[in-house]
């Protein structure tokens, strides 16, 4: 039995999600019949996928399991996301081929929620311009202050109100903002409890001063924030995306940021890793970083624990805990990944 795992090769700092540490899998699989092959780029997947029984990769540096690769992977039974998300796996192909797709729910919920709040504050307060001046030896206070805003009193709309969306709302509430959300599954029981209002998508887009994307990437949400949607936003809207890069239209974001229509921040790109000449790399006044919001030291520890628990069940031929599953027995089992069309 063969396990194929994709982890980045580190330069100086070592982490659990790295080729060197590999989530402790080398030690975990010791004295088993499982052969672990570690690769460091998606390009290497085709060299090993044919004989793999299990594929493990993170959303930060994914192994893309396309239909073509699923067809080639005659032995593939399990694809594990070392983190949260499934967009690097063709779910239709997984359903057709009977490949179980699993993630580690809860592993980085708090980590990403904190990043959402940080990105919101950085963009509202025009932090990047202030930092740029500090680094450049300038002291043009009006240039910073003219675009700096308080959080208090702002309307914050959350697109996608799952676990991370809820944690984000809870952390924003003390800032005395008006909270609203849109999700295909309304959560009435949380609205009074959390002081948040449900609105339709158009209302969320048109009335929010800050829009935080916290939805999975599905057929329904791919390129959801296109030019038409962005044009409906208030001038100067802060758009934060620590969910998936494919939920926004790349060219529309660039145009809107460059024209001053919106400020955009987050840590997700498409594809990942983003190429050197990615359109967003040259944007000014954004809070973009590499995809690291869910890669805190604590999150990686939770990811390691979850991956090893899934593998323990798989190796023992026991059912994988339902909360880990996205696709199982030829169907989508997780409500978050079920499309509405």
User: CATH topology of 2-106+296-337 equal to that of 108-288?
Assistant: yes
127 exposure class (CB count in 10 Å sphere: 0-12, 13-18, 19+): middle
What's this model's pTM, rounded to 2 decimal places?
A: 0.92
Q: What is the pLDDT of residue 124?
A: 98
> Which position among 291, 302, 304, 334 bears the catalytic label?
291
Q: What is the pLDDT of residue 35?
A: 95
> Which position among 48, 69, 88, 108 bears the catalytic label?
108
Strands (E), the chain: 2-6, 35-39, 54-57, 78-81, 100-102, 155-159, 178-182, 196-198, 210-213, 237-241, 262-266, 286-288, 325-328, 331-332
pLDDT, average across residues 242-260: 97
The reply to whether 244 belongs to the active site is yes
pLDDT, average across residues 101-123: 96
> Which position among 109, 180, 272, 300 bears the catalytic label?
272
How many whole angstroms separate alpha carbon 329 and alpha carbon 213? Answer: 30
Query: Structural domain boundaries of the chain?
Result: 2-106+296-337, 108-288
Q: What is the pLDDT of residues 262-288, one digit of tens each?
A: 999 999 999 888 999 999 999 987 899
Main-chain phi, psi angles of 111, to 5 degrees: -60, -45
Answer yes or no: is pLDDT of 341 > 50: no
Strand partners, 158: 181, 212
The reply to whether 291 belongs to the active site is yes
Classified by CATH at the fold level, domain 2-106+296-337 comes out as: Rossmann fold (3.40.50)
Classified by CATH at the fold level, domain 108-288 comes out as: Rossmann fold (3.40.50)
Q: What is the pLDDT of residues 64-75, one digit of tens each?
A: 999 999 999 999
> Which position among 69, 88, 244, 263 bears the catalytic label?
244
Q: At what angle do helices 109-124 and 297-315 cross, to 10 degrees?
A: 150
Q: What is the pLDDT of residues 204-225, one digit of tens each?
A: 999 999 999 999 999 999 999 9
């Amino acid at each position: 039995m063969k396990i194929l795992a994709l982890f980045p090769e580190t330069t100086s700092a070592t982490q659990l999600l790295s080729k060197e540490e590999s989530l402790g899998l080398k030690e975990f699989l010791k004295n088993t019949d499982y052969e672990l092959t570690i690769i460091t780029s998606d390009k290497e997947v085709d060299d090993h996928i044919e004989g793999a029984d299990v594929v493990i990769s993170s959303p930060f540096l994914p192994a893309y399991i396309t239909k073509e690769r699923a067809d080639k992977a005659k032995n593939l039974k399990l694809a594990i996301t070392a983190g949260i998300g499934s967009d690097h796996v063709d779910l239709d192909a997984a359903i057709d081929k009977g490949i179980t797709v699993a993630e580690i729910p809860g592993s980085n919920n708090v980590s990403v929620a904190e990043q959402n709040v940080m990105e919101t504050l950085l963009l509202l307060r025009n932090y990047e311009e202030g930092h740029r001046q500090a680094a450049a030896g300038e002291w043009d206070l009006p240039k910073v202050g003219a675009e700096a805003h308080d959080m208090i009193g702002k309307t914050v709309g959350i697109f996608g109100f799952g676990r991370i969306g809820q944690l984000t709302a809870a952390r924003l509430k003390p800032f005395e903002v008006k909270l609203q959300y849109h999700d295909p599954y309304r959560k009435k029981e949380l609205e009074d409890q959390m002081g948040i209002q449900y609105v339709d998508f158009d209302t969320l887009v048109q009335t929010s001063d800050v829009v935080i994307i916290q939805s999975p990437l599905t057929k329904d949400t791919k390129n959801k924030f296109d030019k038409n949607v962005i044009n409906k936003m208030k001038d100067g809207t802060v758009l934060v995306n620590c969910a998936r890069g494919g939920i926004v239209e790349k060219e529309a974001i660039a145009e809107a940021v460059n024209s001053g229509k919106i400020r955009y921040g987050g840590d997700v790109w498409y594809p990942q890793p983003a190429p050197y000449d990615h359109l967003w790399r040259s944007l000014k006044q954004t809070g973009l970083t590499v995809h690291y919001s869910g890669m805190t030291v604590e999150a990686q520890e939770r990811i390691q624990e979850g991956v090893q628990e899934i593998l323990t069940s798989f190796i023992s031929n026991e059912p994988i805990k339902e909360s880990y599953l996205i696709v199982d027995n030829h169907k989508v089992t997780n409500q978050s990944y079920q499309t509405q069309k």
